[in-house]
């Protein structure tokens, strides 16, 4: 996700003081080592021409003011994981308890929501924001990703390009969220394909380093071609482990519980992964970046969606935005801030007037925007200039 130059420097300073051990920069952190950032691991400055919003945002927080927001709290991370674990257990129990009943579909839907929470925690680990010790952060992040078929280390590489070239030719996520609104029928068709598992292979291709082709550039982005040898090696090793785990898990279920055990594993875990989870991933990504009209500033190229106030915000927020991931604009500006500090960061920016005119909306308003009629081709293309 792109950052304003001052934001980048402040975040790097704050993060380096807060949680980076002495010595060279941690891989992928984007922090300067004594010899400068490692090529292929850095988060680059936002080089778009600064507009009024950027100029205002530059003066918002000094590095020292930002520092408390970057402090990592392992207890809060463990509580977030426990919350997700309880939701997973409840969903699994609901599926098993309703086995053979049509109501079992409610358990599958709940499991997809819970698995989405796991994806968000894996995203935290990809940013080195899950645990304060980098080794523990990566081990836990890999295990969380592995459980859902995601190579966290590969995602770290892919996500770095999204940071560095938001809505640019190298952004691997533009194929997902770009070009909206595309019309209600288009998005409903995509969501319908997701819910029956038709597009699941594309999701896992993305998390294995092969994002979909960007329709504007007709280019297939290959993130592993633009990273350091160290991160590339970690990503490749991680993919082998993920594949091995997903060969082993059904075999274990079969040996442990026979055909019934295998059926329970597939229905409780795999079916939600390839069905219920898929439309949630798509809809969240589009809510975060779709149907934006101004790409000149990080404040308007990403969107924060309110999950408080109106009842619709709360219900939709619980489904689409676990672990404060709704504060996406703030995350773009300060990726060194862990998820549990994002609400306070939002309030600090709001108090300074930084968010005036920024993409901060109620979720129903966002949905109306992304489901709106398709723009004329010329107008839609202009949004990517």
pLDDT at 143 over 90: yes
For the chain, what percent of residues have pLDDT higher than 70? 78
- For the cut 50, the answer to whether the pLDDT of residue 32 exceeds it is no
pLDDT category at 376 given cuts 50, 70, 90 is: confident
Instruction: Find tokens 């358990």 and name the residue.
Output: 107
Average pLDDT over residues 291-303: 87
Domain boundaries, the chain: 3-38+47-382
More reliable by pLDDT, 306 or 174:
306
Q: Which tens digit of pLDDT belongs to each residue from 245-282?
A: 999 999 999 999 999 999 999 999 999 999 999 999 99
| Across 34-43, 79-88, 296-305, 362-371, least confident range | 34-43
Q: How far apart are CA 128 and CA 77, in angstroms?
A: 12
pLDDT value of residue 160: 84
- In this prediction, residue 229 carries a pLDDT of 82
The whole-model pTM stands at 0.85
At residue 162, the pLDDT reads 84
Predicted pLDDT of residue 5: 35
């Amino acid at each position: 996700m792109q950052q304003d130059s001052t934001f980048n420097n402040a975040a790097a300073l704050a993060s380096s003081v807060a949680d980076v051990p002495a010595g060279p920069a941690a891989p992928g952190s984007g922090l300067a080592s004594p010899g400068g950032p490692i090529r292929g691991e850095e988060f680059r400055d936002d080089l778009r021409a600064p507009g009024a919003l950027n100029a205002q945002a530059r003066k918002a927080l000094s590095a020292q003011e930002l520092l408390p927001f970057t402090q990592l709290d392992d207890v809060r991370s463990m509580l977030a994981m426990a919350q997700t674990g309880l939701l997973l257990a409840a969903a699994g129990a609901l599926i098993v308890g309703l086995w053979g009943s049509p109501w079992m579909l409610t358990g599958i839907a709940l499991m997809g929501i819970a698995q989405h929470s796991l994806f968000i925690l894996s995203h935290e680990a990809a940013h080195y924001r899950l645990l304060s010790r980098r080794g523990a952060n990566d081990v836990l992040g890999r295990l969380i990703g592995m459980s859902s078929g995601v190579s966290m280390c590969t995602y770290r590489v892919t996500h770095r390009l999204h940071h560095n070239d938001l809505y640019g030719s190298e952004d691997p996520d533009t194929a997902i969220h770009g070009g909206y609104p595309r019309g209600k029928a288009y998005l409903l068709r995509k969501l319908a394909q997701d819910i029956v598992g038709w597009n699941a292979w594309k999701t896992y291709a993305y998390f294995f380093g092969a994002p979909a082709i960007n329709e504007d550039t007709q280019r297939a982005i290959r993130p592993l071609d633009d990273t350091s040898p160290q991160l590339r090696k970690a990503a490749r090793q991680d993919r082998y482990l993920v594949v091995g785990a997903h060969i082993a898990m059904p075999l274990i279920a079969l040996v442990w519980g026979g055909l019934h055990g295998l059926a329970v594993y597939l229905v409780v875990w795999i079916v939600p992964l390839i069905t219920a989870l898929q439309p949630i991933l798509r809809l969240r990504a589009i809510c975060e970046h779709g149907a934006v009209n101004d790409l000149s500033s990080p404040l308007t190229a990403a969107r924060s969606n309110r999950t408080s106030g109106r009842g619709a915000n709360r219900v939709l927020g619980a489904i689409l935005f676990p672990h404060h991931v709704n504060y996406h604009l703030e995350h773009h500006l300060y990726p060194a801030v862990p998820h549990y500090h994002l609400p306070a960061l939002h309030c600090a920016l709001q108090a300074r007037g930084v968010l005036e005119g920024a993409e901060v909306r109620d979720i129903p308003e966002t949905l109306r925007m992304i489901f709106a009629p398709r723009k004329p081709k010329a107008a839609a293309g202009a949004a990517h200039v």
